[in-house]
Each structure stands twice: as structure tokens, then as C-alpha cells.
Structure 1
Amino acid sequence: MNALVLLGIILYVLMRWIGGEKGSRSFFALFLNFIVLFFTIIFMINPHFNPIILTVVACVIISCINLFYINEINIKTVTAFVSSIITISILLVVIVLVTDRAMIQGFSEEEINEIAVFSIYLGVDFVKIGASVIIMSTIGAITDIAISISSPMHEMIKHHPSIKKRELFLSGITIGRDLLGTSANTLFFAFFGGYLALLIWFKDLDYSIGQIANSKVFSAEMITIFSAGIGVALVIPLTAWITATVFIKQREKNESVN
């Protein structure tokens, strides 16, 4: 049996056993997200399509899959979705500006040797492509943090219906602070784990610390990590405020009806 198939079966069995129906949906959501990314990449190759617009559309679809398909449509997922999209919109502007000023678009010197036999005149805007790649790398973490804050806040107002808006908001901030450190470190090690071979290559080529820090491929990776961290930090207060506002208004509406 193919190793990939075997690992996929083990993953599904564990997710089904531990997560039940939601675990199964989470497993199939992986394939749905892959399909979205696959078609996004295909359209990005076409110079007639704007990569930034494609990225926004893809982020909206991925957010819907991760939130609504897995957790169904409810007040928790709606607030998490709105918070995620607002965060992505803010982050997208920042990333486009940083990518352009840092000049990390395109291929690095370390990568160019491997593709020297191919033409690099593709007719696409590599600044926008680079920004799109960074955004795609952050969307999963942002939606994860958003629902991780919204869901506990829903339980809090459910068990403490008289809680004030400020207290509910501060509770969301407290939850977010606990998630911030672990999420930032998770992103850091995930990206660096993927580029461990590159770091070994730097060592074999006797790169100095200055050469490593100024190399395009290393700078692009660090900007991705920092951008993901900024997105995670931004979504915490946004989710806490939006969730507190929506939940309190919903409570007041229910009280007025009763």
C-alpha cells in the first residue's frame, strides 16, 4: 500500500474516532482546500487575472470551508468569518507594500540555478504573486484563531448571560493572549521546518550571517513568518470586539422579544 494512502487512512480514522462527524468534515475539508488552492494557482498563471483578487476570492472560499463547512453556520462561525476577512483585507495591503519595498518577488539566486533551462518571462506580476503566497500562508492560522476565540466567548455568555460587553471583550482578549504565543511559535517552526534543507545549504556554502539575512529566499521566509504573526495578533482584538458586540446585541434582542 502506498505510504500516502496509508497515512491518509490513519489520519481519517483518528479524526473520525476523536472528532466524530466534525472530524470527518475536517478531513474532507483538507481536500476541498487543496482543490481551491489548485485552481487558484492555475488562474494565477494566466496574466489576464489579477493575483490579488484571486487571493481574496480564495481566502473567502477557504474561510467558508474551514468555518461553515466544518462548524456549520451559526453566530460563532459568522463572527469568526467576518473577523478573518477584515484581518486578511488589512494584512493584504500591508503585505503588498512590504513585498514591493523589500524586493523579494521572483526567484532567488539559490533557486535560479535549478530553473536556468526554463524561461522566466512568464508575463505575470511577481510582486502580486509573492504577496498572494504570503496571504495564503496565513489564512489557516487566522481562521483558526478567530474560531478559537469566538467559540469560548459564546460559551461564556451562555453560562453568564448577565455579563457586560466590556467584560466579555476582555475575556476574549485574555483567551487570545493565551493563543498568541503558541500560534506564533507554531508558524515559526512550521516555516523553518520546511526550509531546514536551505539552512543546511547556507552552511555548506559558507554563507555569513549577513549574507543569510540579506538573501532573498531567507528574507521572503522571514517576511512570511512576521506577516503571519501580525495577522494572528490583529485577528485577536477584532474577533473579541466583533463577537462581544454581536453577542450582546443578540442578547438584548432576545430580551426585548421576551
Structure 2
Amino acid sequence: MNNGQKQFHRLLRVLLPIVILLGIVIGSFSVSRAQIGAQTAHNYVKATVTAILQDDADGLPFNGSQLVRARLTSGTWKGEEAELSNSNSYQRGALCQEGTKIIALVQQGSDGVISGSVYNYDRTGMLWGLLALFLISLLAVGGWKGAATIYALAFTFACVIFLYLPLLYAGWNGIAASALTAVVVLAASIYILNGWSRKSVCSILGTSLGVCISGGLALLFGSIGHLNGFHMSEVESMVYIANASKLRVGDLLYAGVLISGLGAVMDVSVSMAAAMEEVHAKAPELSPWELFRSGMTVGHDMIGTMSNTLILAYTGSATGALLTIYSYEMPFLQVTGYNSIMIELLYGLCGTIGVILTVPIQAGITAFALRHAKKEFVC
């Protein structure tokens, strides 16, 4: 492959995902969303506290209430001042002092006076700073590969917003919507990071089968255990949305299992395919069975770490529920009826089983491709 062809393939790796994403974005506009938000004159704006007018909080967070004056720093009334009530509670409000940056919910009365309440701290600066640190770290450590990773992550995020969510909202079966999104994200991410090659094709096939196994197991055992999207913690909001759309609430649990396991399964598949291709390049005389065994050896080391990764990730998201069980010394039978815990177990175990079974699947696919493909192709 000459330099001109290499440059063309690199350009294609940048432009082709953009073309696909444009098609997805344009298609998402065909989904009509009903207006279900409250129709009020309230606006969320940034503000900075300039004075504390009343203070019953005693300097303690999540205690008492406050009345503050703040200067609005964004929105229609930028530069104006408003009096804001502050509940200083667990989920809403903030412990305000002069100079505290907040998000305010404001409205303008018929007399022109702007008033409202403190919604929460203004965390946008923290968010942008953390995001910048993340991107800088990727670029500094990963170089051009880090830049490709950022591109792949942006593509994935866009697919979630413009493909996955619209499909669910439009009434698609949860497994079908998540499977389609997973395949698109998978193919595009591997292509962006590694180009189009025999290794990429093997990784895509192995990952697709692995995530389908996870989703299928979730559907099977969720049905056996009478678990579905109606048992999720956000079910009230989902039902409210479903009343104004075609959303199938019951499918959301299974869709989440398939999507959540995608990253770990893809990591295993790509790593195994790369390792087996390297083994084949160094020892081309190895038989398919010997290549398969080499792949299984690599996979054995990955199973433990990936299984721990998934279980600990789901444990982190269920920490509140686990602490409740521990503190109240709930008996085993009560725990098995605790929806939040059973859902996290379903997510963790089905995702981990998908990772485990991906190892022999990927080893078999890659061994077959390496020994039977007539020649390598790279794009």
C-alpha cells in the first residue's frame, strides 16, 4: 500500500463515520416528540449570590432555609438582580454565601420584578474542567490513538442521543433498538480506531454475538423472575413519557443490559483478536486448534479482570440499596424481593456471562479467519 492509498484510507476513516452519523441525525428528526414538560414562564439561569437577606441555615448544609439576592449571569435577564428563596435541602437548593455560583429558577412578574428560587449549585465549570482534563489526558497519553478514541466516543454519544433514544421513544422493541445501536457503535468505533481489516471483522462478529447473548439471557431470566422495565427506579417518569409516546417501558430493562455490556465485551473481543493475529504472524504454521488454544489462554486472563470490572461497576451504582440491606439486616428472602438489587444482579451476571462466553466465540471466529482467509485486507 503506497502513501497515497494510506492517506485516502485515513481520510475515509474520518469521513465515513461522519456521513453515517449525518444520516442518523437526519433520521432522528422524523421522530415527533410530544410536549410533556410543564408550560411555565420559569427559566433556568446561572447566577451569583450578592447578599444574604435571611438565613435560618446556621451555616449548615441541608438545614433550614435562606433568602438571597443574586445577579443573573445568563439568560434573558442577564445582569439583573433577583430575590431567590433557597430551601437548602438534600435534593434542591445550596448553602449560599456571598459569591456562591448557583443555578436559579426565575420568572418575571406582571410588575416586572424578577423572583424565583435557588435550584442548585452551578457545576458547569466543574463539568467543563473535568471534561477538558479527560480530553487532555487522552491526547497526552494516547497521541493520535487518543484523538481517534475521542472521535469514537463522540460518535458513540451521538448514536445514543440520535439513534438509541429516538428508537425507544418511537416504540421499537428494546432488544432490537439496543442491538442496532450496539452494532452501529461497535462497527464505527472499531473502524475509527483500527481501520477495516480481518481483525476488525472478527472483533465485530465476536462482540455482536457476545452482547446478544447478554441481552438474550437478560430477557430469559428476567421473564422467569418477573423482572422488566416496570421494576426500574425511574418507572414513574417512564410511564408518564409512555403515555405521550410509543415507549415500551417493559423492554427498557433488557435494552439496558445489552447496551451496558457492550464496552466490556468489545474490549475482550478486540484484545483477543489482536493477540491472536500477532501469534499467527509470528508462527503462521500453527493449526486452527493451536490458534484457538492460544486465544483461550489470552481470554482466561481477561475473564477475571473483566468480570470484576462489571460486577464492581454495578455494585457502585447499587451502593445505596446495598447499604440499606446491610443496615436493616434484611433476610435473604426479603433481598430477593428487592427490585433494585435483583435488577443490578441481572445486569451484572448477564453482562459477565456475555464476557465469559465471548472468549471461546472470539477465539473460534479468529482462529478460523486466520487460517482460512486467503489474505489480509486493510482499509
Tell me the TM-score normalised to structure 2 length: 0.61
Q: Tell me the residue number matched to 2:341.
A: 218
Structure with the bigger percentage of helix: 1
Structure with the bigger percentage of strand: 2
Change (3 A) 1:125 1:164: same
Letter in 1 for 2:139: R
Change (3 A) 1:127 1:164: same
Contact 1:105–1:129 (CA<8 Å) still a contact in 2? yes
Please give the residue correspondences for 1:86-235 in structure 2 after superposition, counting only pairs within 5 Å.
Answer: 86-108=209-231, 111=233, 115=236, 119=240, 122=243, 124-203=247-326, 207-235=330-358
Contact 1:188–1:225 (CA<8 Å) still a contact in 2? yes
Q: Given the alignment, which residue of 146, 150, 159 partners 1:23? A: 146
Q: Tell me the residue number matched to 1:76.
A: 199
Structure 1 residue ranges (4+ consecutive) displaced by more than 6 angstroms after TM superposition: none
* Deviation readout 1:156-184 (Å, 9 max, x if unpaired): 11111222211111000000000000100
Q: Tell me the residue number matched to 1:41.
A: 165
Higher relative contact order (CA 8 A, sep 6+): 1
Contact 2:212–2:258 (CA<8 Å) still a contact in 1? no
- How far 1:205 moved relative to its partner? 5.5
Contact 1:145–1:232 (CA<8 Å) still a contact in 2? yes
Letter in 1 for 2:167: F
Matches of 1:41 and 1:121, distance apart in 2 = 13
Contact 1:165–1:248 (CA<8 Å) still a contact in 2? yes
Q: Given the alignment, which residue of 57, 60, 78 partners 2:180? A: 57
For this pair of structures, how many residues does the alignment match? 248
Matches of 2:185 and 2:242, distance apart in 1 = 30
* Deviation readout 1:99-125 (Å, 9 max, x if unpaired): 22212213449x47x949x74864643
Q: Given the alignment, which residue of 222, 225, 240 partners 2:363? A: 240
Moved more, 152-161 or 208-217: 208-217
Contact 2:174–2:252 (CA<8 Å) still a contact in 1? yes
Letter in 2 for 1:185: N
Q: Tell me the residue number matched to 1:67.
A: 190
Matches of 2:300 and 2:334, distance apart in 1 = 35
3-state SS, counterpart of residue 261 of structure 2? helix
Letter in 2 for 1:35: A
Matches of 2:315 and 2:353, distance apart in 1 = 17
- How far 1:61 moved relative to its partner? 1.0
Matches of 1:184 and 1:61, distance apart in 2 = 25
Letter in 2 for 1:44: L
Tell me the TM-score normalised to structure 1 length: 0.87
Matches of 1:204 and 1:42, distance apart in 2 = 40
Letter in 1 for 2:125: N
- How far 1:50 moved relative to its partner? 2.5
Letter in 1 for 2:170: N
Q: What CA RMSD, in Å, does the superposition of the two structures yield over aligned residues? A: 2.3
Contact 1:22–1:71 (CA<8 Å) still a contact in 2? no
Matches of 1:92 and 1:191, distance apart in 2 = 16
Change (3 A) 1:204 1:107: farther
Moved more, 64-73 or 91-100: 91-100
Matches of 2:153 and 2:348, distance apart in 1 = 22
Q: Give the gaps of 5 or more residues in structure 2.
A: 1-123
